[in-house]
Amino acid sequence: MYKRIATALSFASLVLGQQIGTYTAEKHPSLPIQVCTARGSCTTERTSVANWRWTHATNGYTNCYSGSEWNATACPDGKTCAANCAIDGADYAKTYGITTPSSGALRLNFVTKNDNGQNVGSRVYLLASDTKYRLFNLLNKEFTFDVDVSHLPCGLNGAVYFSEMDEDGGVSRFSGNKAGAKYGTGYCDSQCPQDIKFINGEANVESWEGGLGKYGTCCAEMDIWEANSDATAYTPHPCSVTKQTRCEGVDCGSGSDRYAGVCDKDGCDFNSFRMGNQEFYGPGKTVDTSKPLTVVTQFITADGTNTGALKSIRRFYVQNGKVIPNSKTVIESVDPTNEISEGFCEQQKTAFGDNNYFKTLGGMAQMGEQLKKMVLVLSVWDDHAVYMNWLDSNYPTDADPSKPGVARGRCDPEAGVPETVEAEHPDAYVIYSNIKIGALNSTFPAA
């Protein structure tokens, strides 16, 4: 919920551009999904993934960005830079540690040593074709996948979420962007990240400092899964803007503007540990993270149609053939519930003393509108801003952990310091598999 404030994915001297390079052909790893209409009635869709990657000048093999600086010759301003810098095909396995160990499975390695040094973390987007992302309408549907977090320790986050990105990655709206979805462009999320190098077909060179630019890239986000082996949360984050939108100033909601921006950066989270059940999720717990598990998320509408108002977001787990409903809240002055609804958000925010910016930006109703055309994102990352403490430790770090809402997991607050986790757990990885979308109750066995 406090994520991706600064560089979520650190990457040795590589950056992406907006022209198409000619050094490496782009070959997307295949990641088929299942589309289900009823239990036992699913068809395979031949989807694949594209990740974000690096760039070089169009007329030679120089980087347009290195260290944390733009090349002033190639990039005197955003437009010129986008015209001068290209994005090339990626070697998914060798450069980024992204592989498909079996059909329908995607493995993301945390640290990958490569010819350029090392890659830390990755983020891929699901494609319907070579040039278009796969759009999802989640209303009155359920989204299901298997995950293996057994090699994902404290401080890391293997994330599965939806962002309201353009289907074509921005090529039709922004003339400066020639690369598009094929090359993983057009990213946005509810943190309005300002570390994104190209936004709206222009480089983010203006007032670039410490890896952050003047502009951010905002859009609604539905976090299905943010997790490691010790903690997990699912969180809707609506925005007042209705598609990928470049922000500047107050609109980006950075620092003291957090509750003045166009997106709800906190969201309305359901983390079982934070919601009062500390025995539900973890190694050897009710949902045992030492083994693979299935995660089901249902988007219930008020009238039971695909266009109705979003009423609640429901969660089930399946492990060893057993359906495990989400844990119930155990918090004073919160009515026991195991799903996210407007009432739950209201009570949770009040009980924890949090600003209900979720409600200010339209809450469940606004989120529901934004769930109609979402792009699927799968990633693994570490957190340079707040060490993932908001997910798996105490946050705010200096608050009393016995105060409701502060304790979110068992992890040591220092475990997620990037230098530490990168040195101690370079072999960490996550595997996502068996991704399914379908009618309610169609993608998992009956309880």
Ligand X SMILES: *[C@@H]1O[C@H](CO)[C@@H](O)[C@H](O)[C@H]1NC(C)=O
Catalytic residue set: 221, 226
Size, binding site for ligand X by CB under 6 A: 9
Q: Cite the beta strand spans of 238-292 per DSSP E.
A: 245-248, 281-282, 287-288
Tokens of 2: 């406090």
Query: Least distance (Å) from ligand X to the CB of residue 74?
Result: 4
If the CB atoms of residues 250 and 447 are measured against ligand X, the closer one turns out to be: 447
Does position 312 interact with ligand X (CB under 6 A)? The reply is no
> Could you give the string, one character per residue 31-70, with x where binding to ligand X holds by CB under 6 A and - elsewhere?
--------------------------x----xx-------
List 216's β-bridge partners, or say none: 247
If one asks whether residue 306 binds ligand X (CB under 6 A), the answer comes out as no
Nearest in space to 425 (alpha carbons), one of 230, 159, 156, 157:
156
Does residue 71 touch ligand X according to CB under 6 A?
Answer: yes
Structure tokens at 36: 């289900």
Q: Measured between alpha carbons, how far is residue 116 from residues 2, 95, 119, 307, 382 in Å?
A: 30, 8, 8, 48, 20
Query: Contact, 430 vs 147, CB < 8 A?
Result: yes
> Measured from the CB atom, is 109 or 294 closer to ligand X?
294
Nearest to ligand X of 85, 430 (CB atom) = 85
The CA-based angle 400-405-410, given to 5 degrees, is 75
Give the shortest CB-444-to-ligand X separation in angstroms: 10
Scan residues 15-34 and list those touching ligand X (CB under 6 A): none
80 touching ligand X, by CB under 6 A:
no
Q: How far is the CB of 440 from ligand X (least distance, A)?
A: 4
**Residue type for position 362:** G
Shortest Cβ distance from residue 92 to ligand X (Å)? 25
What are 145's strand-pairing partners?
Answer: 295
Minimum distance from residue 441 beta carbon to ligand X (Å): 4
Question: Given the complex with ligand X, which of 115 and 332 has the nearer CB atom?
Answer: 115
> Is 74 an interacting residue with respect to ligand X (CB under 6 A)?
yes
Scan residues 387-446 and list those touching ligand X (CB under 6 A): 440-441
> Measured from the CB atom, is 203 or 417 closer to ligand X?
203
Spatial contact of 442 and 41, defined as CB atoms under 8 Å apart: yes
Phi, psi of 160 (to 5 degrees): -125, 115
Peptide bond into 396 cis (omega under 30): yes
Residues that bind ligand X (CB under 6 A): 57, 62-63, 71, 73-74, 440-441, 447
